């Protein structure tokens, strides 16, 4: 109870501060708002606000742990779902470390089946391998490796949106989610009225799902009076879209590949390494894919499959196709970390530092009893690792550990 009161007090201080800057969403009066209240641990939905000052007053009076608004626009946002009157929705993407396999998540992420109690480490499975249960208790951590992995996927996504779909940079908004990933939001008339199937097509594209890898150009040949199609052993990769990405990715792979890299993608011949110049000029530049001895069409297919996995953006596909999705609001606190959801320019993706720029609590300290926590960095300082010890920490670090269930207030 002391820890819950501590978090409530800090969140209340943040939302009641006169200098609070929660940016006003586009077309605010047409959006639904939802809140997870801190004390009651109850979800409140179907709220609407015409002005940002009214929302800020609600935050200070009710102190939520998490604040959301709809990606959709409605005629009557405070009505029940079937009476809201859908007017369109932004195109949103959620890139979360929970969906990206990394070496570190096998160290700091744990899951326990809520049905049989079977436990494991790493990415939470869809179903329990023992009993088939689908509900899990999870214990995750927002480490630098996880967030860098999510950042890399976000860079790929933004590049596709700009170069392949033609969205202007001013139409693409990028946010740190406040926990283990990033949100990308496209606010443009061109996407507002897209239905779920159209959004699924966009999801498939950025994920590389259903991508035809190096389809052979077919030729016809008459055999004993009958016509049949035969692969010519020739491919055509254009200089736009996924074709361009495959070509660039294959070039990069060839220039840097080792024998181990070839074996990892299922290639046993090393002719590709022994004839790099010829492979690059004849195959990639001239399109004569089977012109180098020992480098077959199947070799290129294996490389293309590998490159597709590297070049595709790993997103939470359900979020993008949901026409009524609630997404965390910019400038509000994340209940699992105490960090801010924070917008920043897309061109700053590689340099943005969430452990500095998304820190909300910058004053005070708190004494906490820590059960276990890995080493972490916050506001330019390094803390931990900790195990069964008491420490006096800056407020932001104490809030993070308590919100992650790794510490209690002394």
pLDDT of residue 214: 66
Structure tokens at 342: 């924070």
pLDDT of residue 234: 56
Given a cut of 70, whether residue 218 has pLDDT beyond it is no
For residues 75 and 174, what is the distance between their CA atoms, to the nearest angstrom? 27
Structure tokens at 205: 């594209």
The answer to whether domain 218-311 and domain 361-410 are alike in fold is: no
Kindly report which listed range (85-89, 224-228, 239-243, 283-287) carries the lowest average pLDDT score. 224-228
Give residue 105's pLDDT band: very low, low, confident or very high (50, 70, 90): low
Structure tokens at 24: 């006003």
Kindly report which listed range (64-78, 213-227, 258-272) carries the lowest average pLDDT score. 213-227
DSSP category for residue 270:
-
pLDDT of residue 235: 66
Reported in sequence order, the residue ranges of 224-332 that DSSP labels E, i.e. its strands, are: 226-231, 326-328
The hierarchical CATH code for the domain 361-410 is 3.40.5.50
Q: State mean pLDDT over 63-70.
A: 98
Give residue 137's pLDDT band: very low, low, confident or very high (50, 70, 90): confident
pLDDT of residue 220: 42
- Region label for 166, one of left (φ > 0), alpha (ψ between -120 and 50) or beta (otherwise): left
Torsion angles phi and psi, residue 217, rounded to 5: -75, 130
- Burial string for 101-121 (b: 16+ CB within 10 Å, else e) reads ebebbeebbbbbbeeeeeebe
Give residue 226's pLDDT band: very low, low, confident or very high (50, 70, 90): very low
Q: State mean pLDDT over 180-195.
A: 96
Percentage of the chain beyond pLDDT 90 is 77
Beta-carbon-side half-sphere exposure of residue 112 (alpha carbons within 13 Å): 4
Given a cut of 60, whether residue 230 has pLDDT beyond it is no
pLDDT (tens digit per residue) in 367-405: 999 999 999 999 999 999 999 999 999 999 999 999 999
pLDDT of residue 106: 63
Decide which of 1.10.3470, 1.10.357, 1.10.8, 3.10.20 is the CATH code for 218-311: 1.10.8
Domain layout of the chain by residue ranges: 2-95+150-204+315-360, 105-139, 218-311, 361-410
Q: Using alpha carbons, list the distances in angstroms from residue 263 to 30, 267, 306.
A: 55, 5, 12
Q: Is 8 exposed, middle or buried (0-12, 13-18, 19+ CB in 10 A)?
A: middle
Give residue 65's pLDDT band: very low, low, confident or very high (50, 70, 90): very high
For residues 359 and 342, what is the distance between their CA atoms, to the nearest angstrom? 10
Q: State mean pLDDT over 88-93.
A: 98
Rg value, the chain, Cα: 25
Give residue 100's pLDDT band: very low, low, confident or very high (50, 70, 90): confident
Q: Average per-residue pLDDT in the chain?
A: 91
CATH class as words, domain 2-95+150-204+315-360: alpha beta
Q: Using alpha carbons, list the distances in angstroms from residue 189 to 173, 200, 201.
A: 15, 18, 18
Decide which of 217 and 355 is more confident.
355
Q: How many CB atoms lie within 10 A of CB 207?
A: 17
pLDDT of residue 111: 87
The SS3 of residue 95 is strand
Q: How many CB atoms lie within 10 A of CB 79?
A: 14
pLDDT of residue 204: 96
């Amino acid at each position: 109870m002391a820890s819950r009161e501590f978090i409530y007090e800090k969140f209340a201080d943040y939302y009641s501060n006169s200098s609070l800057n929660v940016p006003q969403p586009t077309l605010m009066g047409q959006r639904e708002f939802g809140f997870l209240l801190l004390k009651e641990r109850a979800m409140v939905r179907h709220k609407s606000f015409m002005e940002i000052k009214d929302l800020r007053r609600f935050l200070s009076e009710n102190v939520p742990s998490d604040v959301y608004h709809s990606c959709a626009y409605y005629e009557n946002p405070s009505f029940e779902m079937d009476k809201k009157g859908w007017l369109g929705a932004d195109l949103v993407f959620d890139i979360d470390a929970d969906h990206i396999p990394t070496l570190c998540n096998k160290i700091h992420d744990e899951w326990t089946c809520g049905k049989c109690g079977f436990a494991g480490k790493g990415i939470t499975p869809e179903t329990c391998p023992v009993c088939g249960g689908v509900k899990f208790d999870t214990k995750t951590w927002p480490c630098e490796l996880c967030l860098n992995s999510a950042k890399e996927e976000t860079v790929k996504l933004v590049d596709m949106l700009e170069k392949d779909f033609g969205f202007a940079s001013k139409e693409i908004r990028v946010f740190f989610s406040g926990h283990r990933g990033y949100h990308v939001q496209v606010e443009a008339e061109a996407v507002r009225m897209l239905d779920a199937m159209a959004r699924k097509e966009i999801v498939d594209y950025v994920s590389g799902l259903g991508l035809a890898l190096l389809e052979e150009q077919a030729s016809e040949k008459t055999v004993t009076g009958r016509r049949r199609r035969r692969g010519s052993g020739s491919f055509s990769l254009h200089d736009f879209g996924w074709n361009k990405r495959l070509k660039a990715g294959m070039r990069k792979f060839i220039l840097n590949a080792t024998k181990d890299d070839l074996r990892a993608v299922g290639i046993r011949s090393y002719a590709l390494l022994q004839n790099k110049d010829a492979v690059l000029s004849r195959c990639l530049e001239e399109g004569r894919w089977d012109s180098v001895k020992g480098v077959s069409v199947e070799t290129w297919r294996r490389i293309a499959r590998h490159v597709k996995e590297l070049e595709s953006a790993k997103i939470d596909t359900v979020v993008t196709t949901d026409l009524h999705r609630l997404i965390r609001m910019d400038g509000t606190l994340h209940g699992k970390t105490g960090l801010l959801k924070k917008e920043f320019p897309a061109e700053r993706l590689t340099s943005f530092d969430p452990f500095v720029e998304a820190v909300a609590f910058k004053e005070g300290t708190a004494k906490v009893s820590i059960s276990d926590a890995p080493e972490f960095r916050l506001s330019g300082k390094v803390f931990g690792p900790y195990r069964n010890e008491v420490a006096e920490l800056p407020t932001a670090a104490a809030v993070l550990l308590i919100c992650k269930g790794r510490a209690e207030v002394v």
